[in-house]
Amino acid sequence: MSIVSIIALVAYIALTVFFILMWARFILDLARTFLRQWRPRGIGLVLAEAVFTTTDPPIVLVRRVIPPLRVGGVSLDFAWSIVMLACIILSSLAVGLIR
């Protein structure tokens, strides 16, 4: 196995973990949207903090470049979708380099 394959494998594993954390963030954001009084406690709070700490920097970066789209009284934020798409594309590239 070449050094490029090893680096691609490590990148693929990191991107897969990040992909799972992005879905966890989606679920946490959905819970906060529909249950405004809900707050995680105990180990859930620790896990939620880890999810938001890990996923916030790329999402904030995308929001700086592409701000939420205002449509009347509603704001459409595409940052999560763009970061997920980038994660999927980078994972596919990593798999191509592993082989």
Question: Number of H helices and number of E strands within the chain?
Answer: 3, 2
Question: Is pLDDT of 1 > 80?
Answer: no
Give residue 38's pLDDT: 83
- Of 7, 3, 1, which Cα lies nearest the Cα of 90? 7
Domains of the chain by residue range: 3-98
Average pLDDT of the residues in 65-88? 92
> Among 44-48, 72-76, 92-96, which stretch is predicted with the lowest mean pLDDT?
72-76
pLDDT in tens, 15-52: 999 999 999 999 999 998 898 888 888 998 999 999 99
Alpha-carbon span 90 to 96, nearest angstrom:
10
